[in-house]
Structure 1
Amino acid sequence: MNTLRSAPCPLRRRTAIQELDTIRNIGIISHIDAGKTTVTERILFYTGETHKMGEVHDGLAVMDWMPQEQERGITITATATSCRWHEFRLNLIDTPGHIDFTVEVERTLRVLDGAVAIFSAVEGVQPQSESVWRQADRYGVPRICFINKMDRVGADYRNTLRQIEHLLKARPVLVQLPLCEKENPHGVIDLISGESCRFDERDLGRTVRRGDVPPEQAGEVRTARLALTEAAADFDDTILADYLDGRPVEGDRLREALRRGTLACRLFPVLLGSALRNSGVQPLLDAVCWYLPSPLDARPLTGKNPGTGERETVVCDPHAPLRALAFKVMSDEGRMLIYLRIYSGTVHEGGTLFNASRLCTEKIGRLFRMHAHRREEISRAFAGDIVTVLGFRATATGDTLCDPTRPVLLEGLTVPEPVVSIAVEPKGGSDRERLPAALEKLQWEDPTFRVHEDEGTGQLILTGMGELHLEVIVDRLGREYGLQVKTGRPRVVYRETLRRSVTWRESFRIDGEGRGDTGEVQLRLTPLPPGSGVSLMLPPQAEGMPAGLCASVEESLRLACLAGCRTGYPLTDLMVEVLEIPWQPGLSSEAGVRGAAQRGLLLAARSAEPYLLEPLMALDLTVPSECLGRVIGTLQQKNGRVEGVASQGGSEVLKATVPLAGMFGYMTELRGATRGRGSYTMELSRFVEAPADVQQRFGLL
């Protein structure tokens, strides 16, 4: 038996353009506790980036560097690092699995070229795995799958494959089989090379021993390789001809065909292993290099000129004009640390960029490549790279940075709406003075975290994605900023909408020195179907109107919708049409028209029978079979509706919808009903009409 290191087989020659074909920008995505961070720690160890494996359960994982992550044993923020596997450079981002931090997955998938989806061989496809898979589908991100925890009792990779097909509507292609040997229970068989892979426990799996397939598994391997060849034949006619004629197909040809199917998101290679047992990670690294795209293979982006609206295709070329997206912001000792994905062009330390989203210029102070929270300073970075920048002042998540002489605006990010809020109050006078600045910095980092002041009580209201999200925010205020705050009970963030259409004409006058500012608008408000959000329609710019007046009116109307009309909650599912803006030169003013628009919308909405919508949450619960009745009873008490129950490995998986108002503190209740063995995930499903008692409490009945 030969002893050797696992080595990838390059699929094509290196290009002259900064070796872009050897870069892999990948993310690790999955349900919470499927093993993302454990896999990432092994990747760093086997690539030589670290010299000791950190374990999540010990709070020593390199990628989980925040105290809140180490204490809870979960990933909270997406963390980037860079490492080398043979001639390939991997820019890797480890993402959270908890639904409260889903924006971290969203912005990661927006800028990455490929992803590794990790599934548990015991639990299979879990609820958050479905969510992150849908996010990857939305951005067209090619994926490979790694079925982890093959060492666990009850592991069933075939059941996980069936769930990938059924629940994710995907086509998994198995490229490995488990090695069934008592002395090597955690090895795998490579179906393409026809070799067994055993991971030496004496050096923590660093050495991969390749050998022959055990005779007792030869028939199983032949059958599995035929299925793999059949899948590859869909992407290579010569393989199809050989398959039909019964001729053997070489491994390199199979990999090329599987790569084409993977890049098209039409099939997903599946590997097996146990990261905690140091098994299967090197073949996973090989698969990343074989099957996932380089920046040259990624889908081309399109942008538009912010001035002319002309469309442009962005080509991955270091010599092209700069196009980059700011996908993450961190607070670094009061300064902004901006994560950039560079799509084309080159950035240099000290260079000046144009922010096409905010129409301002930014200067690069220092440039870094990140390794979790450690930084490696660099002088320049090229197309296809992911780096961080210090020195920007106005850039936010989702902004486009580009060449000042060739501006272009790229598509930003989809940010989910926060649904849970708490009131906070500083404990001391010094805390009161420093709190607004600290909250502003936390808002830089997290676009799903919002802060506003309640007009009725004067309290500061923090709004986020869930109880854990807000708990982490409050904890960070204490640890990072030394601020002590008192918090109120979490409460629901409702929405307002209208029962009927209304047309309204409003005049407005501001008396000032010299002359008054006047304005007039005519509006029509029309309710829209649930989930439509707010749509605005403005008339064309009339002759004599000042340039930019319609844009100014649109901004005023959007602000008015955010403020609501009766309860202070935002308006939604509404069409706002500006039918007319009478303009009288010398009398009308922009400030007057803005005032008329805001007040007109408020009064019109109040006359159109406003009512409240409450968030309805989609729950996925995993509970022991004997506790199923008790758990269903708890949901019925909260006006929940069970929509499906499925058995899975001795447990029951419930899908239900429940109003958010009844879900605060539910984890404690679920643990009591299941003797600590139940778990659930929850995400916003939709907004529905709130019950009569809620409407009455807010004075809407």
Structure 2
Amino acid sequence: MTDPPLSAIRNIGIISHIDAGKTTVSERILFYTGETHRMGEVHDGLATMDWMPQEQERGITITATATCCNWRDIRINLIDTPGHIDFTMEVERSMRVLDGAIAVFSGVEGVQPQSESVWRQAERYRVPRICFVNKLDRVGSDHEAVLAQMERRLGARPLLLQLPVGSEAAFSGVIDLLDRQMITFADTDLGMTVTRQELPDSFREQAAVAREKLVEAAADFDDTILTDFLAGEDVSAERLRLAIRTGTLACSVFPVLLGSALRNKGVQPLLDAVAFYLPSPLDVPPVTGKNTSTGDEVSIPCTVDAPLCALAFKVVAEEGRKLTYLRIYSGSLKPGMALANGSRGRFEKVARIFRMHAHRREAADHAGAGDIVAVTGFKDVLTGDTLCDPSLHLELAGMNVPEPVVSLAVEPKGVDDREKLLPALDKLQWEDPTFRVHEDRETGQTILTGMGELHLEIIIDRLARDFGVGVKTGRPQVVYRETVARGLTHREVFRVEQEGKAVGGEVLFSLKPLERGAGVQLSLDRLNDGALSNDLKNALAEAMHKGCAAGGLAGYPLTDLAIEIIEAPFEQGVTSEAGIRAAAQRGLIRALKDAGVVMLEPVMALEIITPAEATGRVIGTLQQKRGRIEGIDGLGEMEVIHALVPLAELFGYMTELRSATKGRGTFSMEFDSFVNAPQELRLKFGL
């Protein structure tokens, strides 16, 4: 495959709420670009991008899947991301390495909770987006309502580039406002034949009004358009595209296109928009990293002539070996190259390079700046690690990893399963930074912690299918947090005699509760210079952080807590690293007992779609679960209930909701915050 110029590469992702049609859009993109020769359908379990058995059975995307294809003279590296909140890390790591994204919205449901979550993730990484309002063939679809929701709920400025031809079941094509043409898609060949024709008279007035709004928006990014607009001059489509591209790259406007992917309408103009408006690797700001030797910030130019720098954004365990996905920011990569892992201070060697097409591999003899590829041969690389030329001493910024909130106790079914369980869990932890494993100190049980019930269900399923490990599970448990009830100052002196010699450490520190969501804040600023060596200071800080992570009086991690180290006297011949660590960790537990702890429980934001006649019953079930109703919106014959409910009350809620709504209700949820747990929970833990 001939390498395209950097300006002809688009690294994009498809993001949305679950069931908005991301994977269906992806399948059409692969078909129309010639990458596949038949369309796989999600409902048939035959989608190319949903290749895992768990995805095919459930009809949802679980893991971010990469592929590449060509549209006209553009190479598109495409990542299809999950829409379920339990797999939000897949979206997070994709956003970290992508240059642009397609946000898909259902024309019926509009902006949904996970739509907001993925939008915020894209905002955090300043990823330019174009939007596709899907399912316009469905009863109740309304693209104008979706635009209003984008403005209200996302704070975005959508820019409508098309109008629909027909509505609901009569939807047959779109009006291109830039070129003032009607675009239709042939039903006889799965939409492959795209026909552009002159604007029908019945649409001329409506299109003129809509195009005027578009020109006004484009004028914000090109003063000459503003001048011509005020003078009543016509503005060409090409000038408008350049202005809209400027606004899109700045994340100031978000072009909106319309269609129905399942009915094969609107996807080719969407591909044109990817080429027109989304950035190439040259259009985004150069990535910056830290020189691990000097601590200086370094800018990485996107060119194949520079030393290699890449980020490992995904690691997959395949047949016991690691397949590592890389986004290459500079330089070129070849098999046999030795690279430095700037995040871990180790060296790795590239065995083979692949371009991925879902789970199918295409071997490549090289890759360059701007590429997304997969590599074998790495042994110790994990998600977020920097791979670079050994001369660079470079580390790129990592990723924001959300905290898991649900745990599950497991034990192997048989003797063979016992031997295979921990190695299999290790491999699953390679892949997923939001999946954690630890042993309960009291019961000796293996505890799995994840983002939700579905997340852990998939883990258990994969243990059986992929690794041949059978396990018995307990009921899912909530992962609580602890914080201090009041502030105090505590001094801890640790002394022990070893081989006739005193060894120990001493530390004076204060604890202070912080507002919810503040996390753990540790300060050593008050330590006198020279009181402790840097190694001992690092040991003290590490001991405090580990003590907070290990858990407080009930065994749950500490949060929303300020720890200030006031004194840490150094006694020649006595103070040691082990002594400092022991004093810090023992002192932290004793201080918690004196200060008292507050249990915090996770609260989830729910969006429930229910028939209007069942709204009262649904609200009743939520109130029984200590839920708080935040608002109710109308959605045709349905109503949308927004509520905050403790996670502990939501296990098995889908069954209750189906009963209350006669099977017609659905809900989605995402983590909102930690709040003070009820008194009965404190009593349960003896606090």
Tell me how far apart the structure 2 counterparts of residues 604 and 521 of structure 1 sit (CA, whole Å). 12
Aligned residue for 1:458?
Answer: 444
Tell me how far apart the structure 1 counterparts of residues 499 and 341 of structure 2 sit (CA, whole Å). 38
Match 1:554 to one of 541, 544, 559: 541
Match 1:693 to one of 646, 667, 680: 680
1:219 aligns with 2:199: no
Are the counterparts in 2 of residues 96 and 105 from structure 1 also a CA contact under 8 Å? yes
Aligned residue for 1:268?
Answer: 254
Are the counterparts in 1 of residues 114 and 670 from structure 2 also a CA contact under 8 Å? no
Are the counterparts in 2 of residues 149 and 275 from structure 1 also a CA contact under 8 Å? yes
Aligned residue for 1:179?
Answer: 165
1:332 aligns with 2:307: no
Change (3 A) 1:339 1:514: farther
Change (3 A) 1:423 1:637: same
Tell me how far apart the structure 2 counterparts of residues 224 and 547 of structure 1 sit (CA, whole Å). 64
SS at match of 1:277: coil
1:148 Cα offset (Å): 0.7
The residue type paired with residue 649 of structure 1 is G
The residue type paired with residue 144 of structure 2 is R
1:359 aligns with 2:354: no
1:196 Cα offset (Å): 1.5
Match 2:508 to one of 515, 522, 526: 522
Aligned residue for 2:116?
Answer: 130
Are the counterparts in 2 of residues 179 and 189 from structure 1 also a CA contact under 8 Å? yes
Tell me how far apart the structure 1 counterparts of residues 169 and 140 of structure 2 sit (CA, whole Å). 19
1:488 Cα offset (Å): 0.4
1:571 aligns with 2:558: yes
Listed one character per residue, the Cα deviations across residues 52-96 of structure 1 (whole Å, up to 9, x for unaligned) are: 110000000000000000000000000000000011000000000
Match 2:61 to one of 75, 78, 99: 75
1:682 aligns with 2:669: yes
Aligned residue for 2:641?
Answer: 654
Tell me how far apart the structure 2 counterparts of residues 501 and 56 of structure 1 sit (CA, whole Å). 54
SS at match of 1:223: helix
1:481 Cα offset (Å): 0.8
Match 1:192 to one of 166, 178, 182: 178
Tell me how far apart the structure 2 counterparts of residues 389 and 538 of structure 1 sit (CA, whole Å). 41
Are the counterparts in 1 of residues 140 and 168 from structure 2 also a CA contact under 8 Å? no
SS at match of 2:615: helix
Are the counterparts in 2 of residues 616 and 660 from structure 1 also a CA contact under 8 Å? yes
1:300 Cα offset (Å): 2.7
1:616 aligns with 2:616: no
1:547 Cα offset (Å): 4.4
Tell me how far apart the structure 2 counterparts of residues 155 and 542 of structure 1 sit (CA, whole Å). 66
1:681 Cα offset (Å): 1.1
Aligned residue for 1:7?
Answer: none
Are the counterparts in 1 of residues 40 and 47 from structure 2 also a CA contact under 8 Å? yes
1:549 Cα offset (Å): 2.1
Change (3 A) 1:322 1:673: same
Are the counterparts in 2 of residues 184 and 198 from structure 1 also a CA contact under 8 Å? no
Are the counterparts in 1 of residues 626 and 646 from structure 2 also a CA contact under 8 Å? yes
Aligned residue for 2:616?
Answer: 629
The residue type paired with residue 618 of structure 2 is V
Number of positions where the alignment pairs a residue of Structure 1 with one of Structure 2:
685
1:451 Cα offset (Å): 0.8
SS at match of 1:630: helix
Q: CA RMSD in A?
A: 1.7
* Percent pairwise identity: 62
Change (3 A) 1:184 1:86: farther
Tell me how far apart the structure 2 counterparts of residues 563 and 537 of structure 1 sit (CA, whole Å). 19
Aligned residue for 2:245?
Answer: 259
1:287 aligns with 2:273: yes
Match 1:322 to one of 308, 313, 321: 308
TM-score, normalising length: structure 1: 0.95
Are the counterparts in 2 of residues 565 and 603 from structure 1 also a CA contact under 8 Å? no
Listed one character per residue, the Cα deviations across residues 339-363 of structure 1 (whole Å, up to 9, x for unaligned) are: 1111122222111111121121221
Listed one character per residue, the Cα deviations across residues 524-552 of structure 1 (whole Å, up to 9, x for unaligned) are: 22211111111111256844855422222
Listed one character per residue, the Cα deviations across residues 28-58 of structure 1 (whole Å, up to 9, x for unaligned) are: 0011111000000000001111011100000
SS at match of 1:614: strand
Aligned residue for 2:196?
Answer: 210
Are the counterparts in 1 of residues 338 and 348 from structure 2 also a CA contact under 8 Å? yes
Change (3 A) 1:627 1:335: same
Listed one character per residue, the Cα deviations across residues 501-531 of structure 1 (whole Å, up to 9, x for unaligned) are: 2222222245444745322222222211111
Aligned residue for 1:580?
Answer: 567
The residue type paired with residue 104 of structure 2 is I
1:101 Cα offset (Å): 0.7
The equivalences for 1:106-121 within 5 A come to 106-121=92-107
Aligned residue for 1:492?
Answer: 478
Are the counterparts in 2 of residues 544 and 585 from structure 1 also a CA contact under 8 Å? no
Tell me how far apart the structure 1 counterparts of residues 387 and 290 of structure 2 sit (CA, whole Å). 13
1:649 Cα offset (Å): 2.1
Change (3 A) 1:642 1:184: closer
Match 1:669 to one of 656, 678, 684: 656
Which runs of no fewer than 5 residues in structure 2 stay unpaired?
Answer: none
Listed one character per residue, the Cα deviations across residues 402-458 of structure 1 (whole Å, up to 9, x for unaligned) are: 221112221111111111111111110111111011111111111111111111111
1:384 aligns with 2:370: yes
The residue type paired with residue 288 of structure 2 is T
SS at match of 1:548: helix
Tell me how far apart the structure 2 counterparts of residues 511 and 83 of structure 1 sit (CA, whole Å). 68
The residue type paired with residue 45 of structure 2 is G
TM-score, normalising length: structure 2: 0.97
